[in-house]
Amino acid sequence: MQARQIATDAADANMDVLRDLAKKRYFERRQFQESERVGPPPRKCYFCNKAFHRRDRCPARGKFCFFVQGKGSLE
């Protein structure tokens, strides 16, 4: 009976250690993710993949893209 109690106590202690480790990892991961968020990602032009600009000022306007086999994209 005493051996069973010792085993139960050891299992409970082991679960406490695992729970504390999981909490620590959760908060570390969350803190890292929050530190990565500086602002919204910068918008990019759909056609040339450079910084966002008006379509009539896009360097891809009227150009032929060999990747997509069409005009108006620089893929």
Distance of alpha carbon 31 from alpha carbon 36, whole angstroms: 9
- Is the pLDDT at 66 greater than 80? The verdict is no
Residue spans of beta strands (DSSP E) within the chain: 64-65, 70-71
Q: What angle do CA 19, 28, 10 make, to 5 degrees?
A: 20
pLDDT digits (tens, 9 = 90+) for 10-59: 667 777 877 888 888 887 887 766 556 667 778 898 888 889 989 889 88
Contact 73, 64 (CB under 8 A): no
